[in-house]
C-alpha cells in the first residue's frame, strides 16, 4: 500500500530550492515520488493512505555524524555508569535523538560495546531508535583519556597493536573506525595541539580499516596531526580546530573529498554556560579553541571542502535532542543556510558512505523524514524546536509525534516516541 503525502513544501536535502505544493509518495519504506504535484499522476486503485499536511515543511530525517550515546551532557564529562545502567542510558539517548528528528546517528566512541547490543534491540524492533552507524571504541595511544573514559577507549601503541585494535572493532560490528590522532579538549591533561599517533601508526590504521571496507574518522585538533591523518587517507576529519593554519592542506581535502565535521555547538554551550559545575580546565580550553574552530570551518567551506554535521552531543551541557542547533552554529560560522542544512542531510549521508540510499528525499531513497509547521530555512533554530516539529518518520512509518495528534493509525510503527 502506498502512502501519499500531499500539500507540502518539500526541502529535499540535496540543496535544491524548496518545492511548494509538492507530493511525496512512499512505497515499501522507500520514496517512490517526491516533487511538484504537477509531475505526479494519481493511481486510482484506492489502495492508498493519504495525508494532507496543509502546506507544512517536509525535510529528510537529519543525520548527526558525531555523537556519544554513552554521555548525557555531564558537566565534568564523566560518562561512566554500571553496565546495566549504561546500556539503558545509551538506549535513552538514542531515543532522544530520534524524537528530535535525528533519524540517523554516527556514534564515534561508545562504551564497552553496549551500543552494539542497543542497535540489535532497535533493529529487532524491540525498541524505537534511530539508525545507528557505530565506531565502537575510540582507538588511542597510551594517555590519560583512556582512564577517564574507561569504556570508550581502546589503547593501541605501535603498528601491530593498531591493526589489532581495528580488527577488534570490525569483529564487534563497527561501520567506521575512530582514531584519536591528537590530544583532546575534554581530557584534563590533553593538549589539543599535540600529535599522538606517529605517521606509521596512522597509515597502518587507515590501511587496515580500508582492507575491511571501513571508513576512518579521525579526531584531530593540531595541524601536524591533521596533516598526518589527511595524508594517510582518512574520510572524515573530526573537530579540525587548527586546520586554518595550512591553506594547502585545505585545498588537498577539497580535491580529495575529505569531509570536515567541525563540532562547534559544544564549545559555544560551554562558553555561554551559567553552570558553575563546569571544571575550569574544560572552560579554559574551550575558550582557547572556539574561535579557531569557527575560522577553520569558514576557510574550509569557502575552499569547497565537503562539510558534514556533527554535534558531539553527550559532551558537557551538549544534550541529546538538541543536535540540530549545530546546523545553526555552522551557518553562524559562514555557511549559507541551505548548505548548513545539506551538511545534516545529503552531505552527511555522503560522509557515512550511505548516500546511495539515505539522506535526501528522492526516488529510491529510504523514507526517513521530519515535518515542521514553520520554515526552518527562515531560522535554523526551528530545526531543534520541538513545538514546531510535528512528527518523525523512519522507513516510511511514524516513529515520534506529539500526543493528541490527528495522524492515520496505519502509519504508526510498533513503538512510537512522544516528541
Ligand atoms: Zn566526540
pLDDT value of position 294: 94
- Find the 68 Cα to ligand 1 centroid distance in Å: 6
Is residue 346 within 8 Å of 14, Cβ to Cβ? yes
- Find the 241 Cα to ligand 1 centroid distance in Å: 13
Q: Cell numbers 569557527 correspond to what residue?
A: 294
- Find the 415 Cα to ligand 1 centroid distance in Å: 29
Question: Cell digits for 327?
Answer: 546546523
Strand residues in 124-276 grouped as ranges (E): 131-134, 138-140, 153-155, 176-180, 215-220, 236-239, 259-261
pLDDT value of position 44: 65
Question: From CA 16, how far away is CA 361, in angstroms rounded?
Answer: 11
Closest Cα partner for 254 from 264, 265, 240?
A: 240
- Find the 60 Cα to ligand 1 centroid distance in Å: 24
- Find the 221 Cα to ligand 1 centroid distance in Å: 12
Question: From CA 48, how far away is CA 214, in angstroms rounded?
Answer: 40
- Find the 107 Cα to ligand 1 centroid distance in Å: 8
- Find the 397 Cα to ligand 1 centroid distance in Å: 30
pLDDT value of position 278: 84
Question: From CA 164, how far away is CA 158, in angstroms rounded?
Answer: 10
Q: What is the pLDDT of residues 170-189, one digit of tens each?
A: 999 999 999 999 998 888 88
pLDDT value of position 47: 83
pLDDT value of position 270: 85
pLDDT value of position 261: 98
Helix (H) or strand (E) holding 30: strand 30-36
pLDDT value of position 45: 67
Q: What is the pLDDT of residues 50-85, one digit of tens each?
A: 999 999 999 999 999 999 999 999 988 889 999 999
Residue ranges, the chain, pLDDT below 50:
none
CB atoms within 10 A of CB 247: 12
Residues contacting residue 343 through CB under 8 Å, at least 6 positions apart: 307, 308, 309, 327, 330, 335
Amino acid at each position: 500500500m502506498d502512502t501519499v503525502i500531499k500539500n507540502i513544501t518539500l526541502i529535499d536535502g540535496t540543496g535544491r530550492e524548496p518545492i511548494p505544493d509538492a507530493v511525496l509518495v512512499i512505497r515499501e519504506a522507500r520514496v517512490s515520488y517526491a516533487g511538484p504535484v504537477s509531475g505526479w499522476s494519481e493511481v486510482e486503485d484506492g489502495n492508498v493512505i493519504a495525508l494532507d499536511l496543509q502546506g507544512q515543511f517536509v525535510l529528510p530525517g537529519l543525520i548527526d555524524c558525531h555523537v556519544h550515546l554513552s554521555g548525557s551532557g555531564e558537566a565534568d564529562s564523566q560518562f561512566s555508569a554500571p553496565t546495566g545502567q549504561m546500556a539503558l542510558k545509551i538506549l535513552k539517548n538514542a531515543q532522544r535523538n530520534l524524537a528530535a528528528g535525528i533519524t540517523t546517528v554516527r556514534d564515534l566512541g561508545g562504551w564497552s560495546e553496549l551500543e552494539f547490543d542497543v542497535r540489535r534491540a532497535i533493529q529487532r524492533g524491540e525498541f524505537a531508535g534511530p539508525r545507528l552507524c557505530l565506531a565502537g571504541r575510540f582507538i588511542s595511544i597510551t594517555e590519560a583519556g583512556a582512564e577517564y573514559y574507561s569504556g570508550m577507549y581502546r589503547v593501541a601503541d605501535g603498528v601491530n597493536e593498531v591493526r589489532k585494535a581495528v580488527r577488534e572493532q570490525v569483529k564487534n560490528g563497527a561501520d567506521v573506525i575512530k582514531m584519536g590522532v591528537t590530544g583532546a579538549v575534554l581530557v584534563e591533561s590533553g593538549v589539543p595541539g599535540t600529535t599522538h599517533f606517529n605517521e606509521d601508526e596512522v597509515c597502518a590504521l587507515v590501511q587496515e580499516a580500508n582492507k575491511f571496507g571501513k571508513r576512518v574518522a579521525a579526531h584531530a585538533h593540531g595541524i601536524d596531526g591533521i596533516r598526518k591523518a589527511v595524508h594517510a587517507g582518512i574520510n572524515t576529519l573530526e573537530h579540525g580546530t587548527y586546520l586554518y593554519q595550512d591553506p594547502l592542506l585545505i585545498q588537498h581535502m577539497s580535491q580529495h573529498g575529505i569531509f570536515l565535521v567541525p563540532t562547534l555547538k559544544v564549545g559555544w554551550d560551554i562558553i555561554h554556560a551559567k553552570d558553575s559545575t563546569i571544571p575550569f580546565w574544560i572552560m579554559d580550553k574551550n575558550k582557547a579553541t572556539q574561535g579557531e574552530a569557527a575560522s577553520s570551518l569558514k576557510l574550509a567551506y569557502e575552499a569547497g571542502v565537503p562539510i558534514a554535521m556533527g554535534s558531539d552531543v553527550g559532551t558537557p551541557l551538549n544534550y541529546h535532542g538538541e543536535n540540530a542547533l549545530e546546523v545553526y552554529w555552522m551557518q553562524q560560522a559562514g555557511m549559507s543556510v541551505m548548505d548548513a542544512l545539506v551538511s545534516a542531510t545529503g552531505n552527511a549521508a555522503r560522509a557515512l558512505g550511505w548516500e546511495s540510499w539515505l539522506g535526501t528525499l528522492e526516488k529510491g531513497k529510504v523514507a526517513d523524514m521530519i515535518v515542521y509547521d514553520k520554515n526552518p530555512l527562515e531560522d535554523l533554530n526551528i530545526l531543534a524546536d520541538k513545538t514546531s516539529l510535528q512528527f518523525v518518520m523512519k522507513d516510511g512509518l511514524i516513529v515520534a509525534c506529539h500526543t493528541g495528534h490527528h495522524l492515520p493509525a496505519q502509519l504508526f510503527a510498533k513503538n512510537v516516541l512522544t516528541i
